[in-house]
Amino acid sequence: MQAQNLEVAIDSIRVRFGSQALTRAAELPPTQPWSSGTPVDHLTGIGGLPRGRVALFTGNGTSGKLTLALALLASATRAFAHAVVIDGGGFDPWTLTSFSPEPGALTVVRAPAPEIAGEVATTLARAGAGFLLLMSEVPEHWLGPLESDANRSGTVIVGVVDTPSRALAHASSFSLGFSRSEWIWDRGQLVGLRTSARCVKNRVAPPLGETELEICYRLGAQSVTEASPRVSEIEQCVSAAV
């Protein structure tokens, strides 16, 4: 009886507001991946970051999440016509120079308040920006429109926050938690870190555990390598600023 009442309610909503007003999860098309060429692709379970969804990189302090996100951003400037950073404060665009992005495909938006960040992110997702890197929280009332517009356009959204709000954590479809295990020293100089990236949430595929990353901060070409035997070996050359 309960199932029958639910079917009646669903049909009523569709008749009143249109067939697109409500969609069952089973009716959604498979999530399409964007292959970033980084170890993240193996952890999503679909071979790349999910298009049209919100992915989160979380972790306290210097855990490698931002370095990996900047590598993704640089790659996105070569894969998409438009890649955008939405900065809530503290982002230095000069850190991108060593990642060799395509300048013509990259835009940095300074958002002085979370409300503005939410509005800008939603507008850009609706307009079809290929890749959005969120460097600040987004108010809860903007998350629904952001998800909806990104799903229609296929925009890849990556948020980098230490500890996400409950609303942002709920809105994300894929989330990685970063935890630094140790610093890497060479002849008394700090040259990088080792960190673990653990899949803490995955709504696009079964969760695939975690992997160990080695992130080196050196002059010239750097490597973000996957050390865990649980996934296939992969190497991504990036550059990082100390």
pLDDT tens digits, residue range 192-238? 889 999 999 998 888 677 888 888 775 443 444 444 333 222 233 33
pLDDT at residue 4 in the model: 78
Pick from 73, 82, 91: nearest CA to 123? 82
pLDDT at residue 220 in the model: 40
Is position 8 within any domain? no
What is d(CA 35, CA 23) in angstroms, rounded to the nearest whole number? 27
| 0.75 surpassed by pTM | yes
pLDDT at residue 126 in the model: 93
Is position 215 within any domain? yes
Is position 29 within any domain? no
pLDDT at residue 22 in the model: 59
Q: Domain of residue 79: give its range.
A: 37-238
Is position 44 within any domain? yes
Extract long-range pairs of 118-122: CB within 8 Å, 24+ residues apart: 118/142, 118/143, 118/146, 120/86, 121/86, 121/146, 121/157, 122/146, 122/149
pLDDT at residue 145 in the model: 92
Is position 23 within any domain? no
Count of domains forming the chain: 1
Is position 162 within any domain? yes
Q: What is the CATH number of the domain that holds 42?
A: 3.40.50.300
Q: Which DSSP symbol is given to 77?
A: H
pLDDT at residue 218 in the model: 54
Is position 12 within any domain? no
pLDDT at residue 216 in the model: 77
Residues of the chain with pLDDT under 50: 219-242
Is position 181 within any domain? yes
